[in-house]
Amino acid sequence: MSPIELNQRQDKILQIVKEKGPITGEKIAEQLNLTRATLRPDLAILTMAGFLDARPRVGYFYSGKKTMASVTESMMNLKVKDFQSMPVVVSENMTAYDAICQMFLEDVGTLFVVDDRSRLQGVLSRKDLLRTSIGTQAITKIPVHIIMTRMPNIVYCHKNDSLIHVAKKLIERQVDSLPVVEEKEDGLEIVGRITKTNITKAFISLAETNDL
C-alpha cells in the first residue's frame, strides 16, 4: 500500500503510541489535552490505514508501518558515498580502440579521462566511441582526448551529496553517469562513479527499508 500523508495531530498520536503503547484512547486524549470524542476520527483513520493496531481493554499500539514523512526523510538521507561504484579511468593519450577494449574489460558504459597527474579532464561514453568508430579516422590512432567531452563541461558530484540531487542532475543533463570527485589544488581527483544503476539500487533499498 502506498504511504499516506498524516496531519499534525495524527503524527503526534503516532508519536505517543510509539513511545507509550499499548495505551488507551483516554490516555492519549489526556496527553494531548483533548477529549476522547475529538480524537475518535483520528484514531479511526490511523487504525484503518494500518499505522495503529487496537485491542479491546489493552489499547492502541504501533504497527510499524512508515509514514510519508519518514519515507521522505529516508530518501533525503541517501548519500552518494553509500551507493557509489569504483571509477574506471584512462589516460588522455589512450587510443579510441584501447578505450573500447577497456570498456568491455571493465564492463562499464563510461570511462573517465585523466591527465598525467590523475586529474579529471574528460568523459567518454559508449556513443562517443561508436561515433568515432563509424567516422573516417582510424580508431587505432586517434587519442581519446580528441573525442571526449572535456572540462569545464563535465557534470560531477561529491561523496556527501544527496543521491536524489544527483539523480536530478543525471536526468536534466541527459547523461548516464557522474564522476564523484574531491577538489584538489591542481584539479579534481576522481574517487567514485554514480550511474543510473546505482540510483536504481538505492530506489530498491528505499522500498525495502520502508516495507513498501
CA 74 to chain centre: 10
Largest CA distance in the chain: 83
Q: Between 28 and 190, whose beta carbon lies closer to ligand ADP? A: 190
Does 125 contact ligand ADP by CB under 6 A?
yes
Determine, following the binding rule CB under 6 A, whether residue 126 of this chain makes contact with ligand ADP: yes
Q: With H, G, I as helix, E, B as strand and everything else as coil, classify residue 22.
A: coil
Match 562517443 to its residue by C-alpha cell: 128
Residues 40-79, one symbol each (x = binds ligand ADP by CB under 6 A, - = not), give ----------------------------------------
Nearest to 118 by CA among 175, 177, 191: 191
Q: Is 176 in the site for ligand ADP (CB under 6 A)?
A: yes
Site string for ligand ADP, 95-114 (x = CB under 6 A): ---------------x----
Instruction: Work out how close the CB of 115 gets to ligand ADP at its nearest, in angstroms, rounded to a whole number.
Output: 17
State how far the Cα of 175 lies from the Cα of 125, in Å rounded to an integer.
9
Residue whose CB is less far from ligand ADP, 3 or 179: 179
Residue 190 and residue 180 in contact, taking contact as beta carbons nearer than 8 Å: yes
How far apart, in whole angstroms, are the C-alpha atoms of residue 43 and residue 104? 58
Neighbours of 156 (CB within 10 A): 19
Cα 10 from Cα 205, distance rounded (Å): 27
Nearer to ligand ADP, 30 or 98 (CB): 98
Nearest approach, Cβ of residue 99 and ligand ADP (Å): 12
Verify binding: residue 123, ligand ADP, rule CB under 6 A.
yes
State the Cα–Cα distance between residues 84 and 77, nearest whole angstrom. Answer: 14
- Beta-bridge partners for 71: none
- Give the shortest CB-151-to-ligand ADP separation in angstroms: 9
Tell me which of 178, 180, 188, 194 binds ligand ADP, using CB under 6 A. 178
Give me the 135-174 binding string for ligand ADP, x by CB under 6 A, dash otherwise: --------------x---xxx------------------x
With binding defined as CB under 6 A, does residue 175 bind ligand ADP? yes
